[in-house]
């Protein structure tokens, strides 16, 4: 923390805190944006107080200040349009919120106590926030991985069978999800595809069963335990005799 230099007539200077996480933020990557963000922290009141704006008395909460483009432009040595554009960026990043009327705008520094409150409490809050963010990132990563495995499995099946099944159908996703929950892996799916294409691909009677509804259903584990060599398994009776075969593209 650094004491603020001041001119004669200025308000008595105080202190603000800057958390080291600022180094890892997108704000730090832009010098003007960083300048405006630090300016916001310096302008925000550290306690609840009243401020006179023209003839109107305004109650400010901790972390709030009155904003005007012209005054901000003078203090920041930036054009009014640029100041406002940078403020809108801070708003879009949830660093600040803006509440305007026809006379003035109140800026609120979001999570003010997180930046400027008790050190020990702040550190715990920062850690909690970091953990939450990491959990969200891991969740997003897992969702992306699941989407990828649908695609990988079905594209592998299409490659082996020369067919054109879609990995986005609800039925296919449901079957794959069920097998994944049972502990089977991507390699297990590929192995089942290998085994059954080896046995059924050139069999006109069985070829139509080379589809997700058959391969990834409840018989999945049984298929997985078969050998890729048809001779090792004896005659391959039709397990779906009398069942209507779906021959569409999905």
pLDDT at position 53 is 81
8: three-class secondary structure by DSSP: coil
Pair (160, 110) in one structural domain: no
Spatial CA neighbour of 240 closest among 160, 217, 182: 217
Evaluate whether residue 85 is within a structural domain: yes
Pair (216, 169) in one structural domain: yes
What DSSP character marks residue 127? Answer: H
pLDDT at position 143 is 46
Pair (160, 227) in one structural domain: yes
- For residue 132, give both structure tokens: 């939450």
Whole-number Å distance between alpha carbons of 127 and 66: 31
Helix axes 186-200, 119-161, angle to 10 degrees: 10
Evaluate whether residue 102 is within a structural domain: yes
Residues in contact with 133: Cβ distance below 8 Å, sequence separation at least 6, in sequence order: none
Pair (71, 108) in one structural domain: yes
Pair (154, 197) in one structural domain: yes
The CATH number assigned to the domain holding 55 equals 1.10.10.10
- Name the domain count of the chain: 2
HSE on the CB side for 137, CA within 13 Å? 6
Helices (H) and strands (E) in the chain, counts: 9, 5
Evaluate whether residue 240 is within a structural domain: no
Whole-number Å distance between alpha carbons of 137 and 248: 38
Spatial CA neighbour of 4 closest among 29, 36, 41, 30: 41
Evaluate whether residue 178 is within a structural domain: yes
Pair (92, 156) in one structural domain: no
Evaluate whether residue 208 is within a structural domain: yes
CA angle at residue 105 from 100 to 108, to 5 degrees? Answer: 100
On whether the pTM is more than 0.75, the answer is no
Domain hosting residue 163, numbered range: 141-233
Pair (112, 154) in one structural domain: no
Pair (24, 111) in one structural domain: yes
Pair (180, 224) in one structural domain: yes
The residue out of 116, 149, 176 marking a domain boundary is: 116
Evaluate whether residue 183 is within a structural domain: yes
What stretches of 32-121 adopt beta strand conformation (E)? 49-53, 56-60, 64-67, 96-100, 105-109
Pair (174, 222) in one structural domain: yes
Evaluate whether residue 121 is within a structural domain: no
Pair (109, 164) in one structural domain: no
Pair (60, 103) in one structural domain: yes
Question: Would you write out the chain's pLDDT as a tens digit for each of its 250 residues?
Answer: 444 444 434 444 567 787 777 787 878 888 999 999 999 999 998 888 888 887 888 899 989 999 999 999 999 999 999 999 999 999 988 899 999 887 889 999 988 877 776 555 555 555 665 565 555 555 444 444 556 888 999 999 999 999 999 988 999 999 998 898 888 888 999 999 999 999 999 998 999 999 999 999 999 999 988 864 444 444 344 444 444 444 444 4
Evaluate whether residue 1 is within a structural domain: no
């Amino acid at each position: 923390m650094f004491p603020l230099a001041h001119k004669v007539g200025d308000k008595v200077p105080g202190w603000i805190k800057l958390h080291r996480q600022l180094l890892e933020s997108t704000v730090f990557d832009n010098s003007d944006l960083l300048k405006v963000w630090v300016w916001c922290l310096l302008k925000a009141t550290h306690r609840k107080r009243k401020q006179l704006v023209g003839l109107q008395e305004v109650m400010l909460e901790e972390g709030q200040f009155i904003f005007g483009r012209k005054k901000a432009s003078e203090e920041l040595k930036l054009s009014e349009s640029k100041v406002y554009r940078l403020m809108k960026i801070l708003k879009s990043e949830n660093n600040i919120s803006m509440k305007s009327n026809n006379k003035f705008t109140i800026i609120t520094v979001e999570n003010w106590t997180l930046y400027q409150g008790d050190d020990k409490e702040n550190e715990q809050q920062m850690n909690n926030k970091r953990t939450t963010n990491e959990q969200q990132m891991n969740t997003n990563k897992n969702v992306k991985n699941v989407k990828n495995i649908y695609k990988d499995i079905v594209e592998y099946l299409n490659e082996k069978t020369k067919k054109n099944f879609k990995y986005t159908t609800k039925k296919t996703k449901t079957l794959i999800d069920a097998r994944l929950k049972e502990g089977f892996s991507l390699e297990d799916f590929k192995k089942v595809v290998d085994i059954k294409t080896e046995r059924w691909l050139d069999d006109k009677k069985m070829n139509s069963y080379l589809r997700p509804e058959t391969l990834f259903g409840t018989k999945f584990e049984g298929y997985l335990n078969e050998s890729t060599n048809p001779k090792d398994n004896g005659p391959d009776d039709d397990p779906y005799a009398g069942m209507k075969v779906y021959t569409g593209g999905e």
